[in-house]
Amino acid sequence: MMKKAPSIISMSLLAASLIMPSVRSYADDPPGNHEQREELRRDQRQLDELQRRRNEERREGDKGDAREYNGKIHEQKREIRNDRKDIEGNKYDGRRHDGDRHDDHD
């Protein structure tokens, strides 16, 4: 039984060394090129800012401006969805629940 232990250890080390590079390749190389991912991040920041402004208008009681921001938010979400489709291909189908989905309708 003593001879099997080093053999088992060496086989598990070999298996781990073969698996690790393939796992790292997925983590290091997200879909899309750098420019596409940066544009998506910019769009997401812009969406966050629009939502912040809309919420501020709601707090101030200006429903007309809040409605205008809802339209802009809707367009921005559409743009983000299209960017994700371009980057990820058909894997992203647009059915993501982001918690803000029901806040857009007044």
CB 39 within 8 A of CB 47: no
Which of 94 and 47 is assigned the larger pLDDT?
47
Residue 79 backbone dihedrals phi, psi, to 5 degrees: -65, -40
3-state SS assignment for residue 11: helix
Give the number of other CB atoms < 10 A from CB of residue 54.
23
**Residue 13 has what pLDDT?**
73
Residue 44, both tokens:
């997401």
List, for residues 36-82, the tens digit of each pLDDT value. Answer: 888 999 999 999 999 999 999 999 998 899 999 999 999 999 999 98
**Residue 45 has what pLDDT?**
93
What percentage of residues in the chain have a pLDDT greater than 70?
A: 62
Q: Is a pLDDT exceeding 70 seen at residue 6?
A: no
